[in-house]
Amino acid sequence: MNIAELIRKKREGGSLGEEEMRELVTRYVEDDLPDYQMSAFLMAVFFNGMTPEETLILTRLMLHSGKVVDLSSIPGFKVDKHSTGGVGDKVSLILAPLVASCGVPVPMISGRGLGHTGGTLDKLESIPGFRTDLSISEFINVIREIGCVMTGQTREIAPADKKMYALRDVTATVESIPLIAGSIMSKKLAEGIDALVLDIKTGRGAFMESYDRSLELARTLVDIGNGFGKETIGFITDMNQPLGTAIGNWLEVVESVECLRGSGAAGNIDASADLMEVTYVLSGAMVYLGKKARSIEEGIDRCRKAIEDGSAYAKFIDLVRAQGGDVESIENLERYPLSKFVLEIKSSEQGFIQAIDSYELGMAGIALGAGREKMGDSIDMKAGILLKKKAGDAVEPGEPIALLFTDRENAVSQARKRISDAFSISAARHSKPSLIKDMVDKNGVKKWKKIN
């Protein structure tokens, strides 16, 4: 087939059939289709979308472009979680060992940073020695040994998605619902899971800023999951301010470890209350789908107890050790090297934090070295931002609102201004945003009632 004709057809709003889509995907995986032509196709999809049938075809083709892991030899109902990405979203680092400590196997294949959001793999690789390049046999062995595993895509798992995922990041085509849905579900279905929990972010720091778009994505993902016979539940969660206090790879590992220890950010559990609220809801749903609780509420209770009794933290140590990581760096967080420049950003006003622009902080983090501006860029694992204030907090003139960490002296001035400008301060206190908006399952959309 003539690839330019297929691109033109999509550009003009047409629909591609299975054979046409297979031509694009197969030739791209086989390096017979250059990046510039796939980029043109992705941009055409970005502007014109895909029909539900096209989205299912794309998901199936990406899924079967490689191997599907067989976890039938692993006892238990295997459940994973996926987030559509946000700033400061380190939930997976806490959730995987937490759910596994409740007896539910968690096979997790994660991705790298996309756009202004961080990636789970990059965060894990900030732990010295931690391997995210496990083979399929290693993947199976680790989950059999400790009950959870966190790795990246191998060459055998959804190779079409792996190539397209990296290309989307640098061609401004990330926010397309069909492309997001196909990418997420092809990886998740390839893991050998029995069920899936989804965290669909909405707001300024999410790829889907509007609620309506987030709901459309949630429904698309849930329909695909259930269409493939995997019980799938989605939660729409707020991303109008960063989740937790840390932005940046090692900084987010530190906050995650402190939460697993039950002490929260820098020993203050209240500072990470929003992070843990989202984590408990998602992990509780996983425990429920994993048949270890009779309801999501009971699953949340089990997860709280696993933090309190130390079993979740112990499972994280097992995970680090099993994947080659330096356990000592986790047990002694303070020994990790600091950035050359650690600077305070102070408030120039008195009042209350009205809002924090997650997108601006995500972009500032990239400028500091915590993310990639283009494919192949290296990451400074130490770089990032620590929030000293969150939405609803009172602030005085001269009081620190954030810390920046970087080795890039030439990035300090611009990043400092961008971080400062991301904080909106008002005279009146505003209520804190609701974190969990709605739940979406095979029966439709339900308002989520906060569980204390």
| Cα separation, 339 vs 379, whole angstroms | 13
Are 288 and 224 found together in one domain?
Answer: yes
Instruction: Please check the confidence at residue 126 and state whether its pLDDT lies above 80.
Output: yes
Give the pLDDT mean for 201-207. 87
- Looking at per-residue confidence, does 153 or 191 come out higher? 191
Indicate if 376 and 353 belong to the same structural domain.
yes
For the chain, give the percent of residues with pLDDT over 90.
81
Do residues 439 and 384 share a domain?
Answer: no
Residues 248, 388: one domain? no
How far apart, in whole angstroms, are the C-alpha atoms of residue 369 and residue 12? 39
Q: How far apart are CA 420 and CA 81, in angstroms?
A: 33
What Rg do the C-alpha atoms of the chain give, in angstroms? 21
DSSP 391: T
Instruction: Give the three-state DSSP class for 267.
Output: coil
Task: Tell whether 389 and 291 lie within a shared domain.
Answer: no
| Residue 241, pLDDT score | 92
Q: Please give the average per-residue pLDDT across 142-154, as a whole number.
A: 93
Provide the pLDDT for residue 449: 82
Known catalytic residues? 82, 161, 168, 183, 187
Question: Is 293 found in the same domain as 171?
Answer: yes
Q: Are 365 and 225 in a shared domain? A: no
Beta partners for residue 440, in sequence order: 234, 445
* 376-385 confidence digits (pLDDT tens): 678 899 999 9
Q: Could you read off the pLDDT of 241-257 as tens digits, one per residue? A: 999 999 999 999 999 99
Give the pLDDT band of residue 431 (cuts 50, 70, 90): confident
The letter for the amino acid at 349 is E
- Which residue has 């959804």 as its token pair? 158
For residues 306 and 372, membership in a common domain is answered with no
For the segment 3-25, the average pLDDT, to the nearest whole number, is: 96
Q: For residue 82, which of 249, 235, 291 has the smallest C-alpha distance?
A: 235
Supply the CATH number for residue 162's domain.
Answer: 3.40.1030.10
The tens digit of pLDDT for each residue in 218-238 reads 999 999 999 899 999 999 999
CATH code, 41: 1.20.970.10
pLDDT tier at 364 (50, 70, 90 boundaries)?
A: very high
CA dist., res. 48 & res. 408, Å (int): 40
Q: Give the whole-angstrom CA distance, residue 308 versus residue 271.
A: 17
Report how many domains make up the chain.
3
Examine the pLDDT at 158 and tell me if it is beyond 70.
yes
| Start-to-end C-alpha separation, the chain | 58
More reliable by pLDDT, 24 or 115: 24
**pLDDT per position as a tens digit, 330-345:** 999 999 999 999 999 9
- Domain presence at residue 327: yes
Report the 10 Å Cβ neighbour count for 450: 9
User: Would you say residue 108 has pLDDT above 80?
Assistant: yes
- Lowest-confidence region among 80-84, 162-166, 189-193, 224-228: 162-166
Length of the chain, in residues: 452
Could you give the CA distance from residue 261 to residue 272 in angstroms, rounded to a whole number? 12
Residue 73 is assigned to a structural domain of this protein: no
Angle made by CA atoms 289, 294, 297, in degrees to the nearest 5: 85
Query: Does residue 87 share a domain with residue 44?
Result: no
User: What is the Cα–Cα distance from 193 to 350, expressed in whole angstroms?
Assistant: 50
Q: Which residue has the tokens 């049938």?
A: 53
C-alpha 183: how far from its chain's center?
A: 13
pLDDT at residue 269 greater than cutoff 80: no
CATH number of the domain encompassing residue 370: 3.90.1170.30
Instruction: Measure the CA–CA gap between 282 and 199, rounded to whole angstroms.
Output: 7
Same domain, 116 and 44: no
The reply to whether 175 and 291 lie within a common domain is: yes
**pLDDT at position 115 over 70:** no
- Domain with 27 in it: 3-49
| Residue 260 CB partners (closer than 8 Å, separation 6+) | 94, 97, 98, 307, 312, 313, 316
Same domain, 325 and 421: no
The candidate with the shortest Cα–Cα distance to 435, out of 95, 206, 111, is 206
Burial class (CB in 10 A: 0-12, 13-18, 19+), 452: exposed
- The three-point CA angle 133-87-377 to 5° equals 50
**Contacting residues for 121 by C-beta, under 8 A, at least 6 apart:** 110, 111, 112, 132, 152
Output helix, strand, coil percentages for the chain, rounded to the nearest 5.
Answer: 45, 15, 40
* Residue 295 structure tokens: 């309801």
In this structure, are strands 351-356 and 394-395 parallel, antiparallel, or unpaired? antiparallel
| Structural domain includes residue 93 | yes
Query: Is 99 domain-assigned?
Result: yes
Task: Evaluate whether residue 59 is within a structural domain.
Answer: no
* Order of strands, sheet of 341-346, starting from the edge strand that comes earlier in the sequence: 246-247, 384-387, 400-406, 341-346
Average pLDDT over the chain, rounded to an integer: 93
- Longest alpha-carbon distance in the chain: 65
Pair of tokens at residue 269: 């559990």
Classify residue 74: in a domain, yes or no: no
Residues near 318 by beta carbon (within 8 Å), at least 6 away in sequence:
97, 146
Q: Where are the beta strands (DSSP E) in 63-105?
A: 79-83
Please tell me the distance from the alpha carbon of residue 375 to that of residue 372, in angstroms, as a whole number.
7
**Residues 6+ away with beta carbon under 8 Å from 90:** 118, 120, 123, 243, 244, 246, 252, 253, 255, 256, 275
* pLDDT tens by residue, 391-422: 999 999 999 999 999 999 999 999 999 999 99
Give residues with Cβ within 8 angstroms of 269, minimum separation 6: 259, 262, 263, 276
